[in-house]
Chain A
Amino acid sequence: MIVDYIVSALGLGALYALLTIGVALLFGVLGLMNFAYGEIILAAAFALYFFRDAPWLFAVAMAVVFAVAVALLSERLAFHPLRGADPVTLMIASFAVSLALQSVARMTVLPRAQGVPPQDFLAQRVDILGARVSVRDLVTLVLCGLVLVAVAYLMGRTSLGVQLRAAAENFQMAESLGVKGNRVIASAFVIAGVLAAVGAVVLVTRQGAVSAQMGLQPMLIGVIGAVLGGMSSLRGAALGGFILGVGTATLEALLPSDLIAFRDAFLFTALIGVLVVRPQGLLSGSKVRVS
């Protein structure tokens, strides 16, 4: 029971951390609170549905391709022309992109929810320290954990990561030193797309279905986790998402069954309490570029 809980909680924490990093990265680099992030997840989820009969790894690869393509297209068509606009303008634009993509999905390929049967191996359980642990939870933990390690390596040890961190902190200064703004922004959208795709793989696996509205909840998780951790710090955002995920899993494990329906009420009450004490988030770093 405890092993099962630990795997589930860490897996959900890692998943939520990925989602928050995707949101916080774009906010840091572009000043963009991207409410269309959910539709990037939707694009990946649709690929999983479209290629549901293909080998699973191929479908996952296509999910990444779809998510990155939608992320880059939204940047090029919607956000690039608004470069330098104030954050409210960017936010409203992201609402528009979100609604447009969701409507297109509903009118064309996803008028109603479509089932995506999980892979057989994901439905199995394995023995770990005497506990029967869900393979799905293990895969969630390993996949999200590996992607988090990859993101940490990219951001901490590569030139692109240094440029992304610099641009997230002071875009104008970074550009004046030779950081290529367009390249950094495109890279941020690609990374956000990859993270959204991984998130979609896990969500579709857990939910067994794809719908036009499915991006809303993970997008909100990303935003809330980022606010909790501190929008100005990617590390903080990841921590916020992780805490949110672990908190969700913990409440699911501890709450009596008749209170499970109120899980989010408990969670967000605690979140409000944290923000009252630390309105800047748990790991607020330096100033945030907002224009």
Chain B
Amino acid sequence: MDLVIEDLYVQYGSSVMAVQGASLVVRDGELVALIGQNGAGKSTLMKAVMGWVSPHAGSIAIGGTSVRDRAFSHLDRGVAFVPEDRGIFSSLTVGENLRLGAVRRRDKKAVAEDIERELERFPVLRRYWGRGASLLSGGEQQQLAIARAMMLNPRLLLLDEPTLGLAPIIVDLIFDVIEQLRAEGVTILLVEQNAVRSIEVADRTYVVQAPGRIIGSGTAAELGASAAVVDYLGFEPTDLGRAAS
């Protein structure tokens, strides 16, 4: 399912411009990364897609319908979001958190199968099923957040900094899962600070610079051809990326 963002401006208060004229396209089945430094406006853009902040100008459409349309429902469109803070409910158990991702579903058998699928994907969740979610480590919480989002059976998955502050071994695990989800046909918009790994796994990458301005986009080779992008990233990304591997 396509996500199309055109000339988006998001402003906080009367003066702070967090996103400035950003345009971005994620085609059905693609894994697109949005990379940039802390405070570049990546998370704000993600929240705008979710309707959590209102754009000042510009448009966001998912599956051809504007997210500002009164009848638009992210859930009905199959959009799932894993926010930067993971959005785990600390007062609930791991199992309750996971089941909450299926709260609207009535097909009990399919829900049970999907829970089993996620427990296979993230075995640590099976081990801690009845444990309070607040007792999980950051990496375990991230796995729970992604598993819970997958309980929505999303067609478009928005991942906001899923590896932020995690140990390298967990970062590897999360990126492996992201590639696995892409292979399963889930369209993914991945916001990350880990530029190297993101460019490696993504079909295309957008580079955003504060305040929320996209300075380049494309495959690893295309990014490498842009002096502004190479200068901003501080490395040559040409040899990274799916095409290169």
Known pairs A178-B75, A286-B134; A169 contacts B100 (CB<8 A): no
| A142 CB-CB contact with B under 8 Å | no
Counting chain A residues whose Cβ lies within 8 A of the other chain, the interface size class is 10 to 19
The stretch from B82-90, B185-193, B204-212, B216-224 touching chain A is: B82-90
Chain A residues in 8 Å Cβ range of B101: 177-178
Establish whether residues B87 and A173, one from each chain, have CB atoms under 8 Å apart when the complex forms. yes
Chain A residues in 8 Å Cβ range of B100: 162-163, 166, 174, 177-179
Chain A residues in 8 Å Cβ range of B80: 176
Known pairs A159-B103, A177-B148, A286-B134; A166 contacts B92 (CB<8 A): yes
Known pairs A177-B100, A177-B148, A286-B134; A172 contacts B91 (CB<8 A): no
Establish whether residues A286 and B99, one from each chain, have CB atoms under 8 Å apart when the complex forms. no
Residue among B52, B103, B105 with the highest chain A CB neighbour number at 10 A = B103
| A248 CB-CB contact with B under 8 Å | no
Known pairs A176-B74, A177-B148, A178-B75; A169 contacts B89 (CB<8 A): yes
Establish whether residues A162 and B152, one from each chain, have CB atoms under 8 Å apart when the complex forms. no
Q: Interface SS of chain B: helix, strand, loop or mixed?
A: loop
Residue among B74, B92, B148 with the highest chain A CB neighbour number at 10 A = B92
Return the chain A residue nearest B87 by Cβ.
A173
Assembled-state Cα–Cα distance A169/B103 (Å): 16
Assembled-state Cα–Cα distance A178/B74 (Å): 9
Interface residues of B in 69-120 (CB under 8 A from A): 74-75, 80-81, 83, 87, 89-92, 96, 99-105
Establish whether residues B103 and A163, one from each chain, have CB atoms under 8 Å apart when the complex forms. yes
| B50 CB-CB contact with A under 8 Å | yes
Known pairs A177-B152, A178-B152; A165 contacts B89 (CB<8 A): yes
Nearest Cβ on chain B to A94's Cβ, whole angstroms: 25
Interface residues of B in 131-151 (CB under 8 A from A): 134, 148
Establish whether residues B92 and A170, one from each chain, have CB atoms under 8 Å apart when the complex forms. no
Establish whether residues B103 and A286, one from each chain, have CB atoms under 8 Å apart when the complex forms. no
Return the chain B residue nearest A28 by Cβ.
B91
Return the chain A residue nearest B90 by Cβ.
A286
Establish whether residues B103 and A176, one from each chain, have CB atoms under 8 Å apart when the complex forms. no
Nearest Cβ on chain A to B240's Cβ, whole angstroms: 32
Chain B residues in 8 Å Cβ range of A173: 83, 87, 89
Assembled-state Cα–Cα distance A166/B50 (Å): 19
Return the chain B residue nearest A179 by Cβ.
B103
Chain A residues in 8 Å Cβ range of B50: 176
Assembled-state Cα–Cα distance A170/B89 (Å): 7
Interface residues of A in 159-205 (CB under 8 A from B): 159, 162-163, 165-166, 168-170, 172-174, 176-179
Nearest Cβ on chain B to A236's Cβ, whole angstroms: 11
Chain B residues in 8 Å Cβ range of A169: 89-92
Nearest Cβ on chain A to B228's Cβ, whole angstroms: 35
Assembled-state Cα–Cα distance A233/B90 (Å): 11
Return the chain B residue nearest A162 by Cβ.
B96
Return the chain B residue nearest A169 by Cβ.
B89
Known pairs A176-B81, A178-B75, A178-B152; A165 contacts B92 (CB<8 A): yes
| A87 CB-CB contact with B under 8 Å | no
| A285 CB-CB contact with B under 8 Å | yes
Nearest Cβ on chain B to A213's Cβ, whole angstroms: 36
Interface residues of A in 125-170 (CB under 8 A from B): 159, 162-163, 165-166, 168-170
Chain B residues within 8 Å of A, Cβ to Cβ: 50, 52, 74-75, 80-81, 83, 87, 89-92, 96, 99-105, 134, 148, 152
